[in-house]
Amino acid sequence: MSGHPPSTYEPKTGIERWLDARLPIVRLAVDLMDFPTPKNLNYWWTFGGILAVCLVTQIVTGVILAMHYVPNADMAFNSVEHIMRDVNYGWLVRYIHANGASMFFLAVYIHMARGMYYGSYKAPREVLWLLGCIIYLLMMATAFMGYVLPWGQMSFAGAVVITSLFSAFDQVIPGLGTAITTWLWGGFAVGGATLNRFFSLHYLLPFMIAGVVVLHIWALHVPGNNNPTGVEVKSKQDTLPFHPYYTVKDGFAIVAFFVLFAWFVFFAPEALGHVDNQTPANPLVTPAHIVPEWYFLPFYAILRSIPQKLFGVLAMFGSIGMLFALPWLDTSKVKSMRYRPSARIFFLLFVATTVLLGWCGGKEPDDMVMTMGHTATGDPTGFSVVWFSRILAVYYFAYFLLVLPILGLRETPTQVPANISTPVLGGAAMPAGSAAQAEKKG
């Protein structure tokens, strides 16, 4: 059962009938509220609504900040200080925007992990997953450019390091990497032109994200929601109207999430930032330890773990590219890992690996994970962060390229419910091998 049911909206006044015949926007809203949704969705599904609110929050606060920000290398840092000190509630708007980026990524990582655990990327939702990955890429680009805008010491150093990575493509096509880097910089070094174009793109990309989000929601409403069982909707008995059941549930989750958000804004507004960014950018000074924002740290650790620059850049981009290939790498016919005990263990290891990569990305490469002894000069010897990152990176890629393809062919899932209502109301389950056949009949 997929697609939209017949519309239940009936215009009652002349104005409503006139508008409905020309722009049926009220009908669209009513139909979205009445959309049949699987009755067994848990709170992991509320992060879609949380992300929508986060996006609106970032756009609104970003537009307000842009009214006072000056994208000039000599004035950018002072304009941020002006927002913080002189603009009415400017400190609040800026802290909401800065911490909102972290909350946005926290929610999107949970949203993606839920999709991976419950198999929401599998047929017939491949396009839905791909659009989500595009949103994630746009978010990363937007966040990176936004991090540069305060023009603090860490912002400047991060811009130099990340944009310089593209010069590695000179090893593929001579001059290609240099041309890309020069275009990004707007000159031969990071400077005012770089800041100006980053500000322009940072302002533009959120509206592109909003456009892709519309496509993402559209792609969701064609096959309908996945659910914790991974079994497709068979009948009306398996569903509930989106309103009021899930609007209330999502509303409660959004309020709970924003309590955490508010704690950071009011009690720890700089906890997720870096102290070096409180200093104006100086091209003649390099921070002792250049580190990106926390949501980029796993990919930064993969980049640093490979000594050859080109291979490190390819591995970093490849680690994101794996997400795009996920629907075709997982060979299992069973969607939800609730019925795949072996896959569940490997997935939890993957989550732990990603978290540990983030921890490694925040450390210096020569820091010791485990000290074995000391050299004659007193320096510690042992298992370094860079070697730990390499081991974790191997598992990260192995999970996509080996574990998922092989496990789907070799594992023996537990029994899958005959329909969504079975686990809720009780009843018989069906063998896992019959899941695909039952879904076709449904």
Q: Residue 213 sits in a domain of what CATH number?
A: 1.20.810.10
Q: Indicate whether 257 and 321 sit together in one domain.
A: no
C-alpha span between 97 and 48 (Å, rounded): 19
Q: Please say which residue of 265, 290, 315 terminates a domain.
A: 290
Q: Indicate whether 208 and 338 sit together in one domain.
A: no
C-alpha span between 34 and 191 (Å, rounded): 52
Check pLDDT > 60 for residue 72.
yes
3-state secondary structure string, 96-142? HHHHHHHHHHHHHHHHHHHHHHCCCCCCCCHHHHHHHHHHHHHHHHH
Q: Indicate whether 212 and 352 sit together in one domain.
A: no
Whether 389 and 302 have beta carbons less than 8 Å apart is answered as yes
Q: Indicate whether 257 and 144 sit together in one domain.
A: yes
Q: Indicate whether 169 and 242 sit together in one domain.
A: yes
**383: part of which helix (H) or strand (E)?**
strand 380-384
Please state, for a pLDDT cut of 90, what percent of the chain lies above it: 81
* pLDDT at site 440: 46
Question: What sign has the CA pseudo-torsion 117, 118, 122, 128?
Answer: negative
* pLDDT at site 422: 78
* pLDDT at site 282: 92
Q: Indicate whether 286 and 331 sit together in one domain.
A: no
Q: Indicate whether 47 and 77 sit together in one domain.
A: yes
C-alpha span between 378 and 397 (Å, rounded): 36
Question: What sign has the CA pseudo-torsion 68, 72, 76, 78?
Answer: negative
Q: Indicate whether 278 and 312 sit together in one domain.
A: no
In a domain, 424, yes or no: no
Q: Indicate whether 190 and 322 sit together in one domain.
A: no
Q: Indicate whether 40 and 111 sit together in one domain.
A: yes
In a domain, 422, yes or no: no
In a domain, 6, yes or no: no
Q: Indicate whether 281 and 352 sit together in one domain.
A: no
What is the amino acid identity at position 31?
D
Q: What is the domain range of residue 366? A: 301-411
Q: What is the pLDDT of residues 17-37, one digit of tens each?
A: 999 999 999 988 888 888 999
In a domain, 4, yes or no: no
What is the amino acid identity at position 298?
P
- Mean pLDDT for 371-398 is 82
In a domain, 276, yes or no: yes
pTM of the model as a whole: 0.92
Check pLDDT > 70 for residue 58.
yes
How far is CA 317 from each of CA 165, 291, 321, 324, rounded to the nearest angstrom? Answer: 11, 18, 6, 11
* CA 397 and chain centroid, separation: 18
Q: Indicate whether 173 and 255 sit together in one domain.
A: yes
How far is CA 233 from each of CA 228, 390, 417, rounded to the nearest angstrom? Answer: 12, 43, 12
pLDDT band at 99 (very low <50, low <70, confident <90, very high): very high
pLDDT band at 6 (very low <50, low <70, confident <90, very high): confident
Check pLDDT > 50 for residue 441.
no
Counting the structural domains of the chain, the total is: 2
Cβ atoms within 10 Å of 216's Cβ, excluding its own:
21
Please state, for a pLDDT cut of 70, what percent of the chain lies above it: 92
3-state secondary structure of 232: coil
Check pLDDT > 70 for residue 431.
no
Q: What is the pLDDT of residues 195-249, one digit of tens each?
A: 999 999 999 999 999 999 999 999 999 999 999 999 999 888 899 999 999 999 9
State the residue for tokens 């150093």: 157
Backbone angles phi and psi of 369, in degrees to 5 = -75, -40
Work out the mean pLDDT of the chain and round it to a whole number.
91
